[in-house]
Chains A and B, each alone.
Chain A
Amino acid sequence: MDGLNSILVRVGRGVGGVVGTFYQAGRDTIDTVIRNVLPFMAFIAAIIGIINKSGIGTALANFIAPAASSLLGLIAITIFCAIPILSPLLGPGAVIAQVVGTLLGTRFKAGDIPAQYALPALFAINPQVGCDFIPVGLALGEAEPETVEIGVPAVLFSRLLTGPLATIIAYFASFGLYTSK
């Protein structure tokens, strides 16, 4: 009887733990969605709605779609975003990458940009990822102040090289993607 009891207790505790974990995970999720995801959706919906309806979208598309429809154009966008002085300014919250990405998305939807440029475009809009956050990121890794002093320019200059390289790799990696349509 004692053996049975201890099994029951153990099973009950295990199940309770898993259920509790999932419940807490759900709580965290809803918290994230309400705090981070929904506000950004509201922001981006407002911007996209106004841009598309007011006609700015068409003007922007005439400017952006040709650039995003060729490897050279995408590399130009990448280099622009990776310029060491600009990249920390473009970085915060990835807002620029998200807005530009969504604008490009509307152009992909309209068919102005061929679908096979989606993969290189994902990298072209984002060579500045984390460039605003280098001192904080290094501090989280318990780096010395001397390391931060060198690390900031090191990452920024590295991006000028690896940013365009990423776009080129993505361009070649997208062969065979969406070509049948």
Chain B
Amino acid sequence: MTSLLAGLLAADAPKGQDPTGFWGALARAAEWFIGLFQAGGETFLGLVTGIIPLLIVLLTVFNAVIRLIGPEKIDHLGEMAGRPGLQYYPLRYLVLPVLSVFFLTNPMAYTMGRFLPEKYKPAFYDAAVSYVHPPLGIFPHINPGEFFVWAGIAYGLRDAGYNLSDLAIRYLLVGLVVIFIRGIATEYITGRMMARQTAKDAASTEAVA
């Protein structure tokens, strides 16, 4: 459509010489205007042919695998992850968020927080939501609607001739480290704020009494 319009505009221009004066300026303005959308159209075509076919096949396979396995299998893990103790930290802020995000995808992954005690819920949410983008290079089914958080930068690199698999793996692995740190940091901050809140509540009830 855009090429058709551009073709019409080009055909309107007199052969042999460029129009000058007022009409020339108008023609150039029109050409520039259509050019904006022509560039957009080319970008769109590149995105559709470059991303959609692989994305569709990947999404189909992973959606099918998840349906065959059954996401309710990880419920038991959620119950275990809520236990106190140092050895449950990796389970709570690494294994559980990763499996929730993989099997339940964004946004249903956050429902797994229901198995945890209240004081861990914000930290679990923080860890889970921070992992809806790092695996996008390999498992786009977890968040196809936000695919360009990864693809924006990655496909620029691909167009420049770089291989993406190394970057995809590193994004996924660094994501693991980051969500684990986020879980612990947010749990600590939540704990401090809850303690302060409890102290304040106690003080106000005393004042009332």
Contact = CB atoms under 8 A, between A and B. Distances in A.
Residue in A40, A46, A52, A155 whose Cβ sees the most chain B Cβ within 10 Å: A155
Contacts of B173: 173
A161 interface: yes
Contacts of A111: 160
Contacts of B151: 101-102, 105
A36 B145 CA distance: 5
B157 A37 contact: no
Size category of the A interface is 35 or more
B42 A25 contact: no
B157 A115 contact: yes
Given A40-B148, A97-B149, A109-B159, A143 B118 contact: yes
Interface string A33-62: 100111011101111111011100000000
Q: Which of A54, A99, A158 has the most CB of B within 10 A?
A: A158
B146 A94 contact: yes
Contacts, number: 276
Main secondary structure of the interface of A (DSSP, over half): helix
A72 interface: no
Contacts of B111: 140-142
A49 B39 contact: yes
Interface stretch (B7-15, B19-27, B53-61): B53-61
Interface residues of B: mostly helix, strand, loop or mixed? helix
A29 B59 contact: yes
Contact of A41 (B47, B112, B124, B186): B47
Query: Which has the most chain A C-beta neighbours within 10 Å: B35, B68, B110?
Result: B110
Given A28-B63, A53-B38, A93-B146, 12 more contacts: A29-B59, A37-B147, A103-B152, A115-B160, A119-B170, A122-B134, A151-B122, A154-B189, A155-B186, A158-B126, A169-B178, A178-B157
Interface of A: 18, 21-22, 24-26, 28-30, 32-33, 36-38, 40-42, 44-50, 52-54, 93-94, 97-111, 115, 118-119, 121-123, 125-126, 129-130, 133-134, 136-138, 140-144, 146-147, 150-155, 157-159, 161-162, 165-166, 169-170, 173-174, 177-178, 181
18 contacts: A30-B56, A33-B59, A37-B144, A53-B35, A102-B151, A102-B152, A105-B153, A109-B157, A126-B133, A126-B149, A129-B130, A138-B122, A140-B111, A143-B121, A154-B193, A155-B126, A158-B186, A181-B162
